[in-house]
Amino acid sequence: MNDDAHETFETEATDFLRMETLEQFIIERQGSFPHSTGAFSRLLRDISVAGKIVNRDMRRAGLVDIAGATGEINVQGEVQQKMDALAHREFVRALKRGGECCLIGSEEHAEAIPIKANSGDGDGEYIVLLDPLDGSSNIEVNVSVGTIFSVYRLPDSSVPPSLDAALQAGIHQVAAGYIVYGSSTMLVYTTGQGVNGFTLEPSIGEFLLSHPNITTPATASSYSINEGNYNSFQRGLKEYIKWMQISDKESGRPYSTRYIGSFVSDFHRNLLKGGIYIYPATTKSPNGKLRLMYEANPLAYIVEQAGGRASDGVMRIMDKQPETLHQRTPLYIGSKDMVLMAEEFLSGNRLHTD
């Protein structure tokens, strides 16, 4: 490298220091909400701190004994990974310590967890629902995984927080986000004013605004689905898949399949590049596999804010009234035109030959 090139590299290598930190961004946004108490900003900070801790632990997988199963079966009847349990513990701990959250619902815990604030200035006013570590069976093979979170306000502060308070439709979310632990670690969230993404700069331990105002393409040429389940898909979905596989220069078909098997990672790629992610009803999972409250709703909020669409094939995900904490739903999520097209096939109004 000559001197000039070296200098350019040095400048680029420290350029990130000019980027806005997550904390600065939150504080700036907070100023635009009248009567803001800062409680929500503190809640987001608590979530990001837990994310950093989980990230740190995950980066040691393979070196210390944190990969693999705990030997427990979780409430979903699925094998619990050690990292699932660890991530659950870290998020619960951070939210308890922070004092802004009054109730947690987690994939790794059968019941909702009420929290008594210890700050002395009253109980927290936010409900946080989360999948502490989505796609965790991928950790052992060094594939990206993620945390998904959804935030609601406690509807009535005169009533002690309970599961009933948490069972709100997705349209009532006040914020939603995810952290993807990939080749870099990113936190992406929305409060209903667009979607912003922050990349963790490991040397200073800060999330920096790397992806402001994320929008998702209206259409694209890749789809994400576990096609091994093809035989048990409903007819309309089989037709849609066949249609995506037919050669057609004008529409860029055949589309490509991209399936990581880690929802956050598949979603993140599709959000940035465009695409559709589908987890439909199957014989094994007649209501779909993914959970409405802490997987589908938060990512539906994000995708809609980025210009995309999320439905269960028939109705908008965020309009669904939840009945239980761990309720499952079929899910079609991603680029708007692709989800609309899937819905058209599912309604029976279109065949792959059309």
Residues near ligand AHM (CB under 6 A): 78, 107, 131, 134-136, 226, 261-263, 289
- Judged by beta carbon distances under 5 to 8 A according to partner kind, the member of Mg ion, ligand AHM, none in contact with residue 226 is ligand AHM
CA torsion sign, 303 to 313 to 292 to 33?
A: positive
275 CB-contact burial (10 Å; exposed 0-12 / middle 13-18 / buried 19+): buried
Q: Is the dihedral of CA 222, 170, 163, 160 positive or negative?
A: positive
Cβ proximity of 150 and 301 under 8 Å: yes
With CB under 5 A as the contact rule, the residue among 125, 131, 266, 343 that binds Mg ion is: 131
Rounded to a whole number of angstroms, the minimum distance from the CB of residue 78 to ligand AHM is 5
Q: Which of Mg ion, ligand AHM, none is residue 62 near (CB under 5 to 8 Å by kind)?
A: none
Minimum Å distance from CB 291 to ligand AHM?
7
State the residue number with the nearest CB to Mg ion: 134
Helix (H, G, I), strand (E, B) or coil at 185: strand
The label of the residue with tokens 């922070």 reads 98
- What is the separation, in whole angstroms, between the first and last Cα of the chain? 57
Nearer to ligand AHM, 134 or 239 (CB): 134
User: 3-state SS of 125-162?
Assistant: CEEEEEEEEECHHHHHHCCCEEEEEEEEECCCCCCCCC
Task: Decide whether 83 or 208 has the Cβ nearer to ligand AHM.
Answer: 83
Cα 343 to the center of its chain, rounded Å = 22
Task: Considering only the stretches 52-60, 129-137, 170-178, 305-313, report the one whose residues sit in contact with Mg ion under the rule CB under 5 A.
Answer: 129-137
Closer Cβ to ligand AHM, 41 or 335, answer by number:
335
Going by C-alpha positions, the residue among 346, 158, 195 that lies closest to residue 271 is: 195
Nearer to Mg ion, 132 or 308 (CB): 132
Decide whether 107 or 125 has the Cβ nearer to ligand AHM. Answer: 107
Residue 51 contact among ligand AHM, Mg ion, none, beta carbon within 5 to 8 Å by kind: none
CB-nearer residue toward ligand AHM: 25 or 263: 263
Q: Given the complex with ligand AHM, which of 124 and 322 has the nearer CB atom?
A: 322
Nearest distance in Å: CB 331, ligand AHM? 9
Q: Are 275 and 223 in contact (CB under 8 A)?
A: yes
CB of 140 to ligand AHM, least distance (A): 13
Phi/psi region, residue 213 (left: phi>0; alpha: psi -120 to 50; beta: rest), is left
CB of 334 to ligand AHM, least distance (A): 13
For the bound state, the minimum distance from the C-beta of residue 134 to Mg ion, rounded and expressed in Å, comes to: 3
Q: Which does 136 bind (CB under 5 to 8 A by kind): Mg ion, ligand AHM, none?
A: ligand AHM
Member of 100, 108, 123, 134 binding Mg ion (CB under 5 A): 134
Choose among ligand AHM, Mg ion, none what residue 336 binds, the Cβ cut-off being 5 to 8 Å by kind: none
Q: Does 312 bind Mg ion (CB under 5 A)?
A: no
Residues with Cβ within 8 Å of 180's Cβ and at least 6 positions away in sequence, in order, are 144, 145, 146, 186, 188, 264, 265, 268
CA dihedral 265, 267, 270, 271 (to 10 degrees): -110
Give the DSSP H/E element, type plus range, for residue 58. Answer: helix 39-58
- Whose Cβ is closer to Mg ion: residue 189's or residue 263's? 263
List the helix and strand counts (H, then E) for the chain. Answer: 9, 15
Q: Interface residues with Mg ion (CB under 5 A)?
A: 131, 134
